[in-house]
Chains A and B, each alone.
Chain A
């Protein structure tokens, strides 16, 4: 059988080995320098240069050939190392390790201005040794007899909103989106089949109006570091990849790539604000601690969202106990007693709930799940039973009419062994229904929500449902970015990266894109301009988020389903939205016909 492009486990499910310092040292000792699929540049062969950085090292290089150099740090003794260099226009990218250590450098030199940016890289600097650490120094190449240049490369938000398809010289293909000034989103087309997008902390540095430096460190995953210089006009890149893959093999290579521009999203900072690094680097203060002056960040420090490390990881027994202790559906607004409590903070811009269903009875007949019979007592109480059951079960619900005739409502299914909750969109003009059926006791962590999708029809007095027509999965939202303001101080943006995932970007106080994360997702078209979608916060709090996005009113209304140590919660959420643009990406997700089954 031919192979598929998909990995055995997606990145967020891979149990990456906790490599020891000794294991890393051993693997590094076997490598003299980075490999390269493209011919290495000889721009520096036979030359000596000295790079001076602000508040950082001075590096004296002598390049004997196009792959051997000696380097002296801060006037110390010179050591020989293998290196790789590539050039793009006037910009050179050089990378090498320091033999006998777990440290190395990636150096970007603009030979036109003699300005340089130096990335010091090292392993074993974090509790997960394999995660590459980086510190960035800005400086210049010393020119004998000349004054030091005053300018420097600078962090910037000028890359924010851009997206590119890249194909490296080794065949690796990715979609890379930069919707944040502190994070980025990447879809591994060739390595992982392009099902999901993932996020990583990133640096964005301006060389000039055309050339920028980008980095990402795949924190929470393999820890691999990627950095490259990109020419935005020619859509070409040169860079380095350093890290250990899922099989713990060292990846250390320089690469050259070409790409395609995919589009530009809106930026929301004030005009004139081109600052980079919008997220402070220092440690996050403990929750509830008095605010204090920011402490000086440690070398290489940056804020990294590490949801897997912080989420509650519960067994089935713990989930059952937590649900028995406390289950809450649509708690009154304004009540928010703590983490994993009803997410009242996302209900700040929630519209009013509707009482249209009150007094009605109906059956939702799903194609692939038991029909559900309903009696709606009032605007917030219903009784449900599965067709064929004799007993009705009382449940609290809330309903929201997003568009005339289209109602989103949800409720928990008390007594269901997996603590199910239904988030349902019913179109009473078309007689169609879609249910996102959330459930717990999933394979990785029992408190992590899973979802089943049921399409079907509404049966009720006076309504004749269609025989064949159904809501259906859509790719109409793929590539779009939509910002959501849930409440003052709580603004995010969804980027619908692939047909099976989305990412969310959290805006900073200055409305720059900040931390970002992603999860599996799916998209259902309800009507033109009305989309029902969900995302799973897998390896990240375990929430199932469902929203009904109305592109006419630019509002969304949704239902969240979450289980944590404080119990099971279903809550309503609502946001004011803005369209932020769209990337042209669907062509990368088409399955192309090739060959036959061997």
Chain B
């Protein structure tokens, strides 16, 4: 008789616990150092997560062309440090992550008050056709009248943290 065996996630966790055991036995200063590092690391991860969430909200706004139920001004005020900089290229119809590009990069400044993001993306851009003839006017009437192209671009974003929340300071294509 033969029995099939297979490693399981439980086995993997057991191995991890065994490997972790010696670490628990290190001296106290090292523990304090590790706790500080963990705090810093946690803060960084929280900042990165908050910025990612902000970026997703901005993408949703661009892709769905919808705003906060409270209105465009409220959405701009919520996402941008200066609401006057909330406008973005009206020709951009959609932005999607470019999984064939470099990984997203979010760098938090040492003081934790600003950050920079670089997001490779595939951008659909509409260029309006001049409505200088019946054909173009009819195309516009039915929701067309533009030329659409897709380009691989990099979104370059500057963030600032104020009152504990991240906001977009500047967003543009690199």
Q: A305 in the interface, Cβ–Cβ < 8 Å? A: yes
Q: Which 3 pairs between the two chains have the least Cβ-Cβ distance?
A: A343-B133, A336-B130, A489-B147
Closest CB-CB distance, B132 to chain A, in whole Å? 5
Q: B49 in the interface, Cβ–Cβ < 8 Å? A: no
Task: Please state if B135 and A342 are interface contacts (CB–CB under 8 Å).
Answer: no
Q: B52 in the interface, Cβ–Cβ < 8 Å? A: no
- Asked if A340 meets B132 with Cβ closer than 8 Å, knowing A489-B148, A515-B138, the reply is yes
- The CA of A519 and the CA of B139, in the complex, are separated in Å by 18
Task: Please state if A336 and B132 are interface contacts (CB–CB under 8 Å).
Answer: yes
Closest CB-CB distance, B148 to chain A, in whole Å? 7
Q: A82 in the interface, Cβ–Cβ < 8 Å? A: no
Contact with A along B115-156 (1 / 0, CB 8 A): 000000000001001111111111111111111100000000
Question: Which residues from chain B contact A488 at a C-beta distance below 8 Å?
Answer: 147
Task: Please state if B140 and A346 are interface contacts (CB–CB under 8 Å).
Answer: no
Question: Which residues from chain A contact B141 at a C-beta distance below 8 Å?
Answer: 284, 303, 305, 515
- The CA of A339 and the CA of B142, in the complex, are separated in Å by 17
Task: Please state if B132 and A342 are interface contacts (CB–CB under 8 Å).
Answer: yes
List the one stretch of A1-9, A130-138, A286-294 in contact with chain B: A286-294
In the complex, the chain B residue whose C-beta lies closest to that of A339 is: B131
Question: Which residues from chain A contact B129 at a C-beta distance below 8 Å?
Answer: 345, 487, 489-490
Q: A499 in the interface, Cβ–Cβ < 8 Å? A: no
Q: A102 in the interface, Cβ–Cβ < 8 Å? A: no
- The CA of A446 and the CA of B134, in the complex, are separated in Å by 18
Task: Please state if B142 and A303 are interface contacts (CB–CB under 8 Å).
Answer: yes
Task: Please state if B135 and A486 are interface contacts (CB–CB under 8 Å).
Answer: yes
Q: B66 in the interface, Cβ–Cβ < 8 Å? A: yes
Question: Which residues from chain B contact A344 at a C-beta distance below 8 Å?
Answer: 130, 132
Q: A interface vs B, CB < 8 Å?
A: 182, 278-280, 284, 287, 290-293, 303, 305, 307, 336, 338-346, 486-490, 492, 504, 506, 508-509, 514-515, 517, 537, 540-541, 543, 560
Question: Which residues from chain A contact B66 at a C-beta distance below 8 Å?
Answer: 293
Q: B interface vs A, CB < 8 Å?
A: 64-66, 90, 93, 126, 129-148
Question: Which residues from chain B contact A343 at a C-beta distance below 8 Å?
Answer: 132-133, 136
Task: Please state if B133 and A345 are interface contacts (CB–CB under 8 Å).
Answer: yes
- The CA of A515 and the CA of B148, in the complex, are separated in Å by 20
- The CA of A543 and the CA of B132, in the complex, are separated in Å by 12
A508 interface neighbour in B65, B126, B143, Cβ under 8 Å: B143
In the complex, the chain B residue whose C-beta lies closest to that of A514 is: B142
- The CA of A307 and the CA of B64, in the complex, are separated in Å by 31
Task: Please state if A284 and B140 are interface contacts (CB–CB under 8 Å).
Answer: yes
A489 interface neighbour in B65, B132, B134, B139, Cβ under 8 Å: B139
- The CA of A339 and the CA of B137, in the complex, are separated in Å by 9
- The CA of A133 and the CA of B143, in the complex, are separated in Å by 22
In the complex, the chain A residue whose C-beta lies closest to that of B67 is: A293
Question: Which residues from chain A contact B130 at a C-beta distance below 8 Å?
Answer: 336, 338, 341, 344-345
- The CA of A488 and the CA of B121, in the complex, are separated in Å by 24
Task: Please state if A490 and B139 are interface contacts (CB–CB under 8 Å).
Answer: yes
- The CA of A344 and the CA of B133, in the complex, are separated in Å by 9
In the complex, the chain B residue whose C-beta lies closest to that of A573 is: B133
- Asked if A506 meets B138 with Cβ closer than 8 Å, knowing A279-B143, A291-B65, the reply is yes
- Asked if A293 meets B132 with Cβ closer than 8 Å, knowing A280-B143, A508-B144, the reply is no
A291-B93, A506-B135, A543-B133 given. 20 additional CB < 8 A pairs? A284-B140, A284-B141, A305-B141, A338-B132, A339-B131, A345-B129, A345-B135, A346-B135, A486-B135, A489-B139, A489-B144, A489-B146, A489-B147, A490-B139, A504-B134, A504-B135, A506-B142, A508-B143, A515-B142, A517-B138
- The CA of A310 and the CA of B67, in the complex, are separated in Å by 32
Task: Please state if A541 and B65 are interface contacts (CB–CB under 8 Å).
Answer: no
Question: Which residues from chain B contact A182 at a C-beta distance below 8 Å?
Answer: 142
Question: Which residues from chain A contact B65 at a C-beta distance below 8 Å?
Answer: 291-293
Closest CB-CB distance, B109 to chain A, in whole Å? 33
Question: Which residues from chain A contact B145 at a C-beta distance below 8 Å?
Answer: 489
Question: Which residues from chain A contact B126 at a C-beta distance below 8 Å?
Answer: 291
Task: Please state if B139 and A339 are interface contacts (CB–CB under 8 Å).
Answer: no
- Asked if A490 meets B143 with Cβ closer than 8 Å, knowing A291-B65, A293-B66, A341-B130, the reply is no
Closest CB-CB distance, A210 to chain B, in whole Å? 29
Question: Which residues from chain B contact A307 at a C-beta distance below 8 Å?
Answer: 134
In the complex, the chain A residue whose C-beta lies closest to that of B133 is: A343
Closest CB-CB distance, A539 to chain B, in whole Å? 12
Closest CB-CB distance, A128 to chain B, in whole Å? 18
Question: Which residues from chain A contact B140 at a C-beta distance below 8 Å?
Answer: 284, 287
Closest CB-CB distance, A423 to chain B, in whole Å? 16
In the complex, the chain A residue whose C-beta lies closest to that of B141 is: A284
Closest CB-CB distance, A292 to chain B, in whole Å? 5
- The CA of A366 and the CA of B71, in the complex, are separated in Å by 66
A490 interface neighbour in B64, B93, B136, B148, Cβ under 8 Å: B136
- The CA of A464 and the CA of B138, in the complex, are separated in Å by 46
Question: Which residues from chain A contact B134 at a C-beta distance below 8 Å?
Answer: 307, 504, 517, 537, 540-541, 543
- The CA of A506 and the CA of B93, in the complex, are separated in Å by 22
Closest CB-CB distance, B97 to chain A, in whole Å? 21
A341 interface neighbour in B93, B132, B139, Cβ under 8 Å: B132
In the complex, the chain B residue whose C-beta lies closest to that of A542 is: B134
Question: Which residues from chain A contact B64 at a C-beta distance below 8 Å?
Answer: 293
Ordered by A's residue number, 20 sampled pairs between the chains whose C-beta atoms are within 8 Å are: A182-B142, A287-B140, A290-B90, A292-B65, A293-B66, A303-B143, A305-B141, A341-B130, A345-B135, A346-B136, A489-B129, A489-B146, A490-B129, A504-B135, A508-B144, A514-B142, A514-B144, A537-B134, A543-B134, A560-B133
